[in-house]
Structure 1
Amino acid sequence: MLSKSLIAASAGLVGTAQAFWRMECPGRVTLARLDPIVNPGQISSHLHTVHGSNAFGEVSDTASLVAGDCTSCRVTQDKSAYWTPTMYFKDGDTGELEMVEQVGGMLAYYLLNGQDIKGFPADFSMIAGTNKRRTYTAGDPNSDPAKSQWEALGQTTQTDLEQRALGFNCLNYDKAPEGTLYRHVMPDKDYMDANCKDGLRLELMFPSCWDGKNAQSDDHKSHVAYPDLVMTGTCPDSHPVSVPGLLFETIWATQAFDGRNGMFVMSNGDPTGYGYHGDFIMGWDPDFLQNAVDTCTNPSGRIEDCPLFDVVSEAKAKSCELPKLPSILQSEKVVQSLSALPGNVPITYEDGTTDDTEQSPVPSQSYKPGEIPADPASPLPGQVFKETSVSVAPAPSSAPSSASDDVVLAAAEPEPVTTTTTTTAPTSSEVIPTTTAAPEIAPVEPEPVYDSTQYITSGNMVTKILWEEEIVWVTEMVDSTTTVTIQGAAPEASAPAAAERKPRAAHAHGHGHHHKF
Structure 2
Amino acid sequence: MLVTPYATLALFAPSVYALLRFSCSQLVVERLDPLVNPGQTGSPHLHQIIGGNAFNVSMDPNAAPSDTATCTTCTFAEDFSNYWTAVMFFKAKNGTFKRVPIKGNVGFEASSGGMTVYYTPTISNTAKASVTAFKKGFRMIIGNPTYRTEAQAKQFRQLTYTCLQNANTRTGETLAFPTKPCPAGIMANVRFPTCWDGVNLDSPDHMSHVAYPSSGTFETNGPCPSTHPVKVPQLFYEVIWDTTKFNDKSLWPTDGSQPFVWSFGDATGYGNHGDYVFGWKGDALQRAMDSNCNINCPTLKTQTIPTGNKCAQQQKVVEDIDGWLTELPGGMPVS
Superposition TM-score tier, normalisation by shorter sequence: 0.7 to 0.9
Counterparts of 1:87 and 1:315 in 2: how far apart (Å)?
25
2:75–2:304 Cα contact (<8 Å) kept? yes
Output the CA distance in 2 between the equivalents of 1:272 and 1:62. 37
Distance in 2 separating the partners of 1:62 and 1:314: 30
Q: 1:171 to 1:119 in 2, by over 3 A?
A: same
Whether the 8 Å contact between 1:167 and 1:202 is mirrored in structure 2 is yes
**Deviation per CA, 1:14-54, whole angstroms, max 9, x where unpaired?**
xxx941111211x1010011111111101311000000011
Give 1:13-92 correspondences, 5 Å limit. Answer: 18-25=17-24, 27-42=25-40, 43-60=42-59, 61=61, 63-66=63-66, 67-92=68-93
1:460-499 mapped onto 2 (5 Å cutoff):
none
Q: Distance in 2 between matches of 1:270 and 1:107?
A: 23
Aligned to 1:312: 303
1:186 is aligned to 2:177: yes
Structure 1 residue 258, shift from structure 2 partner: 1.8
Offset at residue 230 of structure 1 (A): 3.1
Compared with structure 1, are the counterparts of its residues 170 and 124 closer, same or farther at alpha carbon in structure 2 (3 Å cutoff)?
same
CA distance in 2, matches of 1:256, 1:339: 20
Do the aligned residues in 1 keep the contact of 2:44 with 2:330 (CA within 8 Å)? yes
- Whether the aligned pair in 2 keeps the contact of 1:119 and 1:286 (CA below 8 Å) is no
Pair 1:18–1:240, CA change in 2 (3 A): farther
CA distance in 1, matches of 2:243, 2:54: 30
Please tell me whether the aligned partners of residues 29 and 315 of structure 2 are also in contact (alpha carbons under 8 angstroms).
Answer: no
Structure 1 residues 72 and 21: alpha-carbon distance in aligned structure 2, compared to 1, 3 A threshold: same
TM-score for both structures, normalised by structure 2: 0.83
Structure 2 unmatched runs, 5+: 1-15, 105-113, 124-128, 254-258
Residue among 102, 117, 121 paired with 1:112: 121
Q: Structure 1's 208 and 62: CA in aligned 2 closer, same or farther, altered over 3 A?
A: farther
Structure 2 equivalent of residue 103 of structure 1: 103
Following TM superposition, by how much is the alpha carbon of 1:320 offset from its aligned partner in structure 2, in angstroms? 0.9
Residue of structure 1 equivalent to 2:322: 335
Q: Kindly name which structure, 1 or 2, has the bigger radius of gyration based on alpha carbons.
A: 1
Partner in structure 2 of residue 172 of structure 1: 165
- Identify the residue that residue 325 of structure 1 maps to in structure 2: 315
- Over aligned residue pairs, what C-alpha RMSD do you find? 1.9
Q: Which amino acid counterpart does residue 213 of structure 1 have in structure 2?
A: V
**1:236 CA displacement:** 0.6
> Does the CA contact (< 8 Å) of 2:284 and 2:300 recur in 1?
no
1:401 equivalent in structure 2: none
Q: Distance in 2 between matches of 1:306 and 1:62?
A: 29
1:212, CA displacement in angstroms? 0.1
Task: Write the distance in 2 (CA, Å) between the matches of 1:234 and 1:76.
Answer: 33
**Structure 1: 5+ residue runs without aligned partners?**
1-16, 139-158, 349-517
User: For 1:444-459, what aligned pairs fall within 5 Å after superposition?
Assistant: none
Cα shift readout 1:394-424 (whole Å, capped 9, x = no counterpart): xxxxxxxxxxxxxxxxxxxxxxxxxxxxxxx
SS class of match (1:51)? strand
Tell me the amino acid that sits aligned with residue 20 of structure 1: L
Structure 1 match to 2:11: none
Conserved? CA contact 1:31–1:50, under 8 Å: yes
Secondary structure of 1:102's aligned partner: coil
Deviation at 1:116, TM superposition (A): 2.4
Matched, 1:292 2:288: yes
Work out whether residues 28 and 49 of structure 2, in 8 Å CA contact, stay in contact via their aligned partners in 1: yes
Residue of structure 2 equivalent to 1:244: 233
Q: 2:117 and 2:148 mapped to 1: Cα distance?
A: 25
CA distance in 1, matches of 2:52, 2:78: 10
Give per-residue Cα distances to partners, 1:146-174, cap 9 Å, x unaligned. Answer: xxxxxxxxxxxxx7450x21111011129
Contact 2:52–2:80 (CA under 8 A) maintained in structure 1 = yes
Q: CA deviation at 1:286?
A: 4.4
TM-score by length of 1: 0.54
Query: In 2, are the aligned partners of 1:63 and 1:283 still within 8 Å (CA)?
Result: no
Instruction: State which of 200, 216, 222 in structure 1 corresponds to 2:208.
Output: 222
Query: Would you say how many aligned residue pairs link Structure 1 and Structure 2?
Result: 293
Q: Call closer, same or farther: CA 1:178–1:22 in 2, change over 3 Å.
A: closer
**Residue-by-residue CA offset, 1:114-155 (whole Å, 9 max, x unaligned):** 7621010111000011110000117xxxxxxxxxxxxxxxxx
Q: 2-side partners of 1:128 and 1:249: how far apart? A: 14
Mapped partners of 1:289, 1:255: distance in 2? 36
Equivalent residue number for residue 4 of structure 2? none
Aligned amino acid, residue 34 of structure 2: P
Match of 1:200 in 2: 186
